[in-house]
Structure 1
């Protein structure tokens, strides 16, 4: 296990109409992360090429372009010595997946976590792959849950926490640049439920929950780091494009609540 602190970065990026523009922004975020001695940066859901089915343009499917983009991100990770979690669209023999690739500081592609619990409005665009993965950066195990899974299916977080994850990254998209509520205060009781769900995912597992949203005019939730006790430790102001950097105190992420879960108390019948 690494030292007691892991410095993470959450890239609250704006939507952009082209893959090239998104890659350019990714390069800026990773350069800043390197300058601030960040170990790992997480980007929002399907950052490349963008999430389909919403109110902004997304380039046509092009697996070859996606492969080129992944190689570009891999090269950036190597150049800056920053591990990277990047949301992407990825095709396999079973269809198109909404995934988050993990790339090490040395540029090794460690695999990806697919979004498996897909909301009805996205089923026309993506399919699950039925797998879950645990990853590691600087000796620290972590998991990934993508948007809807983390909001509505707490099992997706507990799976990682029960297997030793100290934090769970949550690439997501909630909001719009065209219409929606104007939030002013983090965790406001009158706001959408998303930020409250972040708290629940952290405290019910005693791990860190790091949720990264796009920077949009009408956000439904803020890019945030939630501690194992359920406290919001840091967040990005709504609408602001920003790299949120936070030092995760690993000694607090015991995973106690997740490890105490006893399935015998919940028989199938």
Structure 2
């Protein structure tokens, strides 16, 4: 079957609490709103369901792990009922004494966990006090669109974003708990440099810095959560006229340029080229 030309996604901006039960109720309410709006996928912020270390959680002993696990299953059950894909920021507990992963669970529209992205580039505080790092990228496909996953401080590692370009993603899902407004500039730059959509989901607590939004493959903001709102609906549209240069020309040409053959075949032997110390 030919890939779909467009896909509607929902991007959440929720208030995250230390109570997994409360967070779970918020997640499921927004899942219903997304489904009613025709979205096929909804994305949530970093640590959305479990609470995020350094903010809602200061010690893992504070976490009601049974509640977190039950809420994970409730979200998965509703995903199946709504036929909705869910990318859920939460904590993935490991076997003690190992620290947990900071993760994005990818739940398909049958309610199955089809993969999990574990944050690879943890911050100094995270890696020394809170989390175990992951080591692998994560991609998955919905209706012919391929998605990749990244989390928060990884915005500062461009090699991760170029890796996803090589993995041929159409859209990078970046879930975060940002600490400055320059974060949005970096996200728009990664989208424009790699010519893919970038969906950024952040908590309501950081709305004064930036809001959840969908960035196009040429770096413009296509949709943004309104003031006081918790959800924005965006469209990944391969046929949009304003995206044809980014998708149809810039992205394939840059891939060819990175491979380098178009330059190697034009190398010349010339003394004026080799001499770097004269005009």
Which residue matches 1:25? 26
SS at match of 1:216: helix
- Select 2:233's aligned residue among 224, 228, 245: 245
TM-score calculated relative to the size of structure 2: 0.81
Q: Does 1:128 align with 2:124?
A: no
SS in 2 for 1:221: coil
Asked which structure has the greater CA Rg, the reply is 2
1:263 CA displacement: 6.8
Distance 1:9 1:69 in 2: 20
| Residue 257 of structure 1, CA deviation | 6.6
Question: How far apart are 1:91 and its partner, in Å?
Answer: 2.0
Q: What does 1:164-243 align with in structure 2 at a 5 Å threshold?
A: 164-175=168-179, 192-216=181-205, 219-237=208-226, 240-243=228-231
Structure 1 residues 219, 171: CA separation in 2 closer, same or farther (over 3 Å shift)?
Answer: same
Identify the match of residue 123 of structure 2 among 101, 119, 126.
119
2-structure distance, mates of 1:250, 1:235: 19
Residues 20 and 257 (structure 1), Cα distance of their counterparts in 2 relative to 1, 3 Å cut: farther
How big is the shift at 1:69? 2.0
**Is the Cα–Cα contact under 8 Å of residues 57 and 63 in structure 2 kept in the other structure?**
no
- Quote how far apart the aligned CAs of 1:247 are: 1.0
1:105 Cα deviation after fit: 0.9
Aligned to 2:17: 16
List runs of 5+ in structure 2 lacking aligned partners: 262-279
Cα shift at 1:153: 0.8
Deviations 1:187-227 (A, max 9, x none): xxxx7311111111101100001101111266322211110
Which sits farther off after the overlay, 248-257 or 219-228? 248-257
Per-residue CA shift, 1:41-62, capped at 9, x if unaligned?
0000011211111267787234
Residue 157 of structure 1 contacts residue 201 of structure 1 at CA under 8 Å; is this kept in 2? Answer: yes
> Alignment partner for residue 69 of structure 1, among 68, 71, 76?
71
> CA RMSD, aligned part only?
2.3
| Aligned-pair CA distance for 1:139 | 2.4
Give the TM-score taking structure 1 as reference length: 0.84
The CA distance in 2 between the partners of 1:256 and 1:45, in whole Å, is 32
1:158 partner SS: helix
Give the distance between the partners of 1:225 and 1:139, measured in 2 at CA.
19
Task: Tell me: CA distance 1:129–1:57, structure 2 relative to 1, closer, same or farther (3 Å).
Answer: closer
**Contact (CA 8 Å) 1:205, 1:256: kept in 2 or not?**
no
| 1:259 matched to 2:255 | yes
Q: Taking structure 1 as reference, are residues 32 and 259 closer, same or farther at Cα in structure 2, changes over 3 Å only?
A: same
Please state if 1:152 is matched with 2:152: no
- Separation in 2, partners of 1:68, 1:263: 47
Alignment partners' CA distance in 2, 1:154 and 1:263: 17
Worse overlay, 153-162 or 26-35: 153-162
| Higher percent of residues as helix | 2
Aligned length: 248
What is the CA deviation profile of residues 211-264 of structure 1, one whole-angstrom value per residue up to 9, with x for unaligned ones? 0111126632221111011111111245x2421001111354464376346377
Q: Is residue 50–residue 58 contact of structure 1 (8 Å, CA) maintained in 2?
A: no
